[in-house]
């Protein structure tokens, strides 16, 4: 092998290891982007709700309204949800679970999914513990016969 050839070979090797490096870097970046997107879209699936006393539709068959027993403040407030069928009759056949937390402090206050409890009137109730001022959310999953049919989130400031 003459000197010229060996130089060009070294350059080739240099280029190919560089391009492998950049390919790996690209793959890592793509992987991170996909991961971030997935993490965000899990949040996105919870539809932000309109407000207290507003009709929130669950597909074609049901709707619900929510309210708090008092303006959310430090301490415990009770979230009440009433579900109706499409004819406006109360429905108690669904199950609701809710995860309360602070969106900006994920993992600090999150309760995990907790079952709403029904009272005699068929209201669905969830105690919500507010332990510090700031932005809070309650992410809820509504299920029918064990299958999730709706995800919504209530967002509020304390």
DSSP state of 106: T
Alpha carbon 109 to its chain's center: 15
Residue facing Cu ion at closest CB distance: 105
Least spacing, CB of residue 104 vs Cu ion, in Å: 7
CB nearer to Cu ion: pick between 34 and 131: 131
Stretch that binds Cu ion, among 6-14, 34-42, 79-87, 127-135 (CB under 5 A): 127-135
Task: Dump the DSSP string for 30-44.
Answer: HHHHHHHHHHHHHHH
Closest CA to 43 of 96, 94, 106, 132: 106
* Cα distances (angstroms) measured from residue 126 to each of 61, 79, 114: 23, 5, 8
132 binds Cu ion (CB under 5 A): yes
Rounded distance, CA 155 to CA 48, Å? 7
Stretch that binds Cu ion, among 3-11, 13-21, 83-91, 125-133 (CB under 5 A): 125-133
Least spacing, CB of residue 134 vs Cu ion, in Å: 6
Q: Which residues contact 119 (CB under 8 A, 6 or more apart)?
A: 125
Least spacing, CB of residue 148 vs Cu ion, in Å: 27
Torsion angle of the four alpha carbons 14, 17, 19, 25, in this order, in degrees rounded to the nearest 10: -140
CB nearer to Cu ion: pick between 83 and 102: 102
Which residue carries 């068959």 as its tokens?
Answer: 61
Least spacing, CB of residue 99 vs Cu ion, in Å: 15
Binders of Cu ion in range 51-110 (CB under 5 A): 102, 105
Stretch that binds Cu ion, among 27-35, 89-97, 118-126, 128-136 (CB under 5 A): 128-136
Least spacing, CB of residue 135 vs Cu ion, in Å: 9
Count of residues that interact with Cu ion, criterion CB under 5 A: 3
Give me the residues that bind Cu ion (CB under 5 A), please.
Answer: 102, 105, 132
């Amino acid at each position: 092998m003459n000197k010229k050839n060996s130089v060009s070979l070294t350059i080739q090797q240099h280029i190919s290891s560089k391009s492998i490096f950049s390919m790996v870097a690209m793959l890592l970046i793509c992987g991170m982007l996909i991961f971030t997107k997935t993490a965000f879209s899990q949040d996105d699936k919870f539809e932000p709700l309109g407000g207290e006393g507003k009709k929130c539709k669950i597909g074609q068959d049901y709707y619900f309204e929510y309210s708090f027993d008092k303006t959310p403040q430090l301490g415990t407030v009770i979230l009440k949800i009433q579900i109706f069928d499409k004819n406006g009759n109360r429905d108690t056949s669904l199950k609701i679970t809710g995860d309360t937390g602070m969106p900006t402090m994920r993992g600090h206050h999150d309760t995990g999914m907790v079952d709403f409890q029904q009272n005699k009137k068929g209201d669905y109730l969830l105690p919500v513990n507010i332990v510090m001022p700031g932005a809070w959310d309650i992410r809820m999953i509504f299920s029918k016969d064990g299958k999730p049919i709706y995800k919504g989130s209530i967002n509020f400031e304390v």
